[in-house]
Amino acid sequence: MNSTETATLYQHPDRNLAMELVRATEAAAIRAVPFIGRGDKNAADKAAVDAMRVFLGTVNFDGLIVIGEGEKDEAPMLFNGERVGNGRGPACDIAVDPIDGTSLTAAGRQNAVSVIAVSDRGTMLDASSIFYMDKIVTGGAGRGVVSLDQSIGDNLRELAKAMNKPVGEMTVAVLDRPRHAGLIDAIRTAGAGTRLMLDGDVAGGINAARYETRIDMCVGIGGSPEGITTACALKALGGYMQGRLAPKDDAERAGGVAAGLDVDKLLELDDMVSGNNTFFVATGVTDGGLVDGVRRKGPMIRTESIVLRSRSGTARRVIAEHLAEKWL
């Protein structure tokens, strides 16, 4: 194989990358287990960050963290702009969330997951200068049907029509936050039910795009990093999503504009993650509707992960058993 062929081979992430990434989310999830229900979300997050960072350092790729844990301080912590991987292989943009749902983990509640999303270098929107994003997520039936420019009632009626089901049978996932009180009332007034999430809207968005769940739509204002991460998964699931950045004040808006963001733009999937070669990997920390949490079974530790790839349009579940003594 000549140098040109080799360069072409490693230009884009390939299918083998997914199994390397899942080792990192498994490690983060396992290391978070001692902190489940202990009330210390920061300790849980640190354990997961440290484990994920070690495993990412062994992966065959040149990863640039676009969406990370935060800016670099005295202790490196998967910060925005950090390079990860061994530097050999494809150049990638990375979104990491060692625990999506640190508060859920600390409280011992469901739906905490460890997440990594990957796309080709230069394809992932860096929206880190604006923390929040307004989102609407559905399955493929929502494409060309729902829009953030429509009322929630109109979106529900149009999506119900496209899905050939009554509005009264629709279920909408929404983060349970005071800012969503009016939105929740409007959903119920339109005749649909709500699934209120305490945290972790990545899982909520993914479940809205999956056919085997009871969630038909996920809406509301959540983190913009979680929005970009969800977009990577939606590319593989054939789902639909729109977003619009939601600065909390004039200073944050000005910061977003200075960073080159079109703050008022209605973002489609390709605006959030361009191209069609994304990976999304999530391992359960606690049990939830997306994946089961980590479980100790005798001498073994069991993990469940979901692995999505947009190029092939595949969703795989990875059940792994780890010898517990190796993690002591």
Binding-site sequence positions = 45, 69, 97, 100-102, 132, 177-179, 199-201, 223, 226
Strands in 171-175's sheet, in edge-to-edge order, are 193-197, 171-175, 217-223, 132-138, 240-245, 267-268
Task: Tell me whether strands 113-120 and 91-100 are parallel, antiparallel or unpaired.
Answer: antiparallel
- Residue list, annotated binding site for substrate: 100-102, 132, 177-179, 199-201, 223
| Structure tokens that stand for 208 in this block | 């809205």
Residues 6 or more apart whose CB falls under 8 angstroms from that of 147 comprise: 136, 155, 242, 266
Cα angle value 128/121/97 (rounded, 5°) = 45
Give CA–CA dist 143/132, Å, rounded. 23
Q: Which residues are annotated as a binding site for Mn(2+)?
A: 45, 69, 97, 100, 226
